[in-house]
């Protein structure tokens, strides 16, 4: 992020566990979401009518929001995939 001169507006410590309700709120404000799990990358639509599949993809095995999670404009990035971040961040 520093190399691209991106300012982080909010950082949430790992000790604060974000759960399903938090994931629903984040996704409802987004128009698109990319979820990376290992080498697999999936695209989902955001908004108030987001699918349960999209919300489930945001959560780890413990039911907490997966990290890292970034909100870039109206796009939500969950998990890390270098190509996905590069596409969104330019």
N residues, the chain: 90
pLDDT of amino acid 12: 81
Per-residue model confidence as pLDDT tens for the chain (90 residues) = 666 667 777 888 878 899 999 999 999 999 999 999 988 999 999 999 999 999 999 999 999 999 999 999 999 999 999 898 888 887
Six-digit token pair at 62? 């413990």
- The Cα–Cα gap between 16 and 10 comes to 13
Do strands 75-78 and 32-37 pair parallel, antiparallel, or not at all (unpaired)? parallel
- The Cα–Cα gap between 63 and 59 comes to 5
Residues with Cβ within 8 Å of 49's Cβ and at least 6 positions away in sequence, in order, are none
pLDDT of amino acid 3: 67
């Amino acid at each position: 992020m520093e190399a691209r001169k991106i300012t982080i507006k909010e950082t949430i410590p790992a000790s604060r566990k974000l759960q399903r309700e938090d994931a629903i709120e984040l996704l409802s404000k987004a128009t698109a979401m990319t979820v990376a799990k290992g080498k697999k990358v999936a695209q989902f639509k955001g908004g108030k009518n987001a699918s349960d599949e999209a919300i489930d993809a945001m959560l780890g095995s413990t039911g907490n929001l997966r990290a890292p999670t970034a909100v870039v404009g109206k796009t939500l990035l969950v998990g890390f995939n270098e190509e996905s971040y590069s596409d969104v961040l330019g």
